[in-house]
Amino acid sequence: MAKKKFKETRKERNNLIHPEAKASVIAVFSLGIAVILTLSGFHKAGPLGEVMSSILTTLMGVGYWLLPVTLLAISIALFTSGTKKVLTATLLGGLFVLLSSLGIIDIVYTDRGGWMGNILGSLQLFLGYSASLVLNFTILVAAIIVTFNAPLKIRKEMFWRKREIEEDRPVIIKEPGKTPETQQAEPAIISPDQDMKGKPEKKSEDKTEAESFKARHSYKSNYVPPPLSLLKATSEKPTVGDLRANANIIRRTLESFGIPVEMGEITIGPKVTRYTLKPAEGMKLSRIVALNQDLALALATHPIRIEAPIPGKALVGIEVPNQVGSIVRLGGLLSYPDFTNSGSLTFPLGRDVSGDPIFGNLAKMPHMLIAGATGSGKSVTIHSLIISLLYKNSPEVMRLILIDPKRVELSVYEGIPHLISSVIIDGKKAIGALKFGISEMERRYEVLLKAGCRDIGSYNEKKKEDFMPYLVIVIDELADLMAAYGREIEGSVVRLAQMARATGIHLIVSTQRPSVEVITGLIKANIPTRVALQVASQVDSRTILDMAGAEKLLGGGDMLFLSTDFSKPKRIQGTYVTDEETKKVVEFIIKNNPVEVENGLEEAVEESLEKDNFDDYLGDQDDDELFSEALRVVKEAGKASASLLQRRLKVGYARAARLLDIMESKGLIGPGDGAKPRDVFMNDGQ
């Protein structure tokens, strides 16, 4: 007991002086002593200076002048970074700089390093001249690194396209004793939302992005992806306040309720700062969770979120809103290798509470539900997702069907070559578009069956000539469609969600009214990947995620991401893209990729509304206006393939495949035979 009290008293005494203030005092004294020693060397420091100069010259010889230089270096190092650990390391490093320098002087210039130099220079008796010189130089370089706490790095720009992504990592305060001022002394690592640097390399980035399509796909693609320069990549840093004071408030508040805790590391995210703590053994986590409002009152902020426990750690996390949050720019994440070197349907979600970038893959999800109240960032999330896919995929790789009952959100994408049809704004046409997706799914399953492939990935690897593109269907407002055509919309969405994954058809569904009438049990059961933005109540959060939490979000893209990859929802600050940036990207794509948009879907939609059975609404389209033109192309080429018709007729894969099916049904061409073109049975008279 007495030892414990002695340790606590000693700890309190050590905390009387701020660690940074302690380092500053030593830095000032080091600078002053360096000046006095310099004056002593020039015999301008009085009698005491003369004595001091004489003694030190005897000890160090000509190395006397290294002493003020070393003290000056220590002073500079302490002024630039001053914590307790850095303080000790800096002083030790300065000492070894001086000693190794004296050893080098004595080895190179015999008997010029004073008594201390003679002692250190005696190493050459055991190692010889060269080896002892190398050893002293090694100690000198290592001591300089320790003194300035600056690791040697060979810049990665010499070998890689981008600079180190480690610059983006958040500050991690592993001891409560460290202060926010200490962390803010290094702005390069304080901001977790600091986007990737290397602006002079933008041009090479854009060039690499354009060339990546050729490297990623075996077929020829003339698609010109938009440059990253169209998107902003920089953003402001978050303002977090006094981290140590907040940590102490949390600890004292919990202790006042009889919950002793040990504070852990602190991580700063774009919108929130997470304080971690470890409760005493035997303490129920429910007691900590129940103090949510008390902690919010003590910290004078709202809302706070308690994650107990943090997945994969024996810690409890308390997420406190930053005083001023930072924006996660989409352009800052599109240059990460996790995006550029990944699958076709990869897109950035944002940054988590530690500031680390999070990416999602629509091919693995395989469908996504986005829900949140008005103004929570739902539309911006959809725009960021679509823009990411447009940066990564050509029309030959991915096609889009955009359903926008609100009429104004997705109309900006009108005219891009990825669209199978114009943006759908009518509810009845939306039903037809979903039926088209079901029919296309079944047709693709037949193609996969004949090819002996399990999914679209293996099919495209096997038959690179007849590439089957991904089809992404985006529904911006499900609630409006469900209110008018609930049964039809739910049936189509559920059927696509159940079966479409293997065929490369993916759904992105969003709604601003998270009620059980809109997000039904069947829809939730078949769309396990969900994004919950800020909602009004805990009931709405449970409707989306089957658990509470979304009602405590901050809005503006603050989200909870639920996926099969995570045991619990992950808090993420979503990416942000402005309307101006979206328009620039779309205009660039339309200007540099003049491809006619296929209108076959609109015709199929009109016909689908007249049929009740989803299976036969696209059957017997022998009267396709391009059928005769397709016959001429096949006859001249002497072979038949979907890619041939796509190139010559400037149509999409779906329509080209239908034309081939019509020809095969009429006996004009043979069946598909692996990657080989189909046989043509037409003669000159046909």
Helical packing angle, 124-148 and 66-80, nearest 10°: 30
373 is in an annotated binding site: yes
How many CB atoms sit inside 10 A of residue 215's CB? Answer: 8
Helix (H) or strand (E) holding 184, with range, is: helix 180-184
374 is in an annotated binding site: yes
* Rounded CA separation 113/105 (Å): 6
Say if CB 543 and CB 514 are below 8 A apart: yes
Q: Which string of b and e fits 624-636 if b means at least 16 CB within 10 Å?
A: bebbeebbebbee
The type of residue at 460 is N
Beta strands (DSSP E) in 91-212 are 172-173
Residue 667 — φ and ψ, nearest 5°? 80, 20
379 is in an annotated binding site: yes
Say if CB 496 and CB 473 are below 8 A apart: yes
* Rounded CA separation 372/550 (Å): 9
Of 98, 91, 137, 135, the closest CA to residue 117 belongs to 98
Contacting residues for 356 by C-beta, under 8 A, at least 6 apart: 169, 170, 192
DSSP 8-state class, residue 290? T
Of 405, 432, 435, the closest CA to residue 602 belongs to 432
Distance linking the first and last C-alpha atoms of the chain: 104
Helical ranges in 239-377 per DSSP H: 243-256, 285-289, 292-299, 337-340
103 is in an annotated binding site: no
DSSP reduced 3-state for 255: helix
Of 507, 156, 494, the closest CA to residue 337 belongs to 156
Say if CB 651 and CB 645 are below 8 A apart: yes
- With 0-12 / 13-18 / 19 or more C-beta atoms within 10 angstroms meaning exposed / middle / buried, residue 599 is middle
377 is in an annotated binding site: yes
Beta strands (DSSP E) in 396-521 are 398-403, 470-475, 505-511
* Rounded CA separation 327/199 (Å): 19
* Rounded CA separation 592/379 (Å): 26
Known binding residues are 372-379
Known binding residues for ATP are 372-379
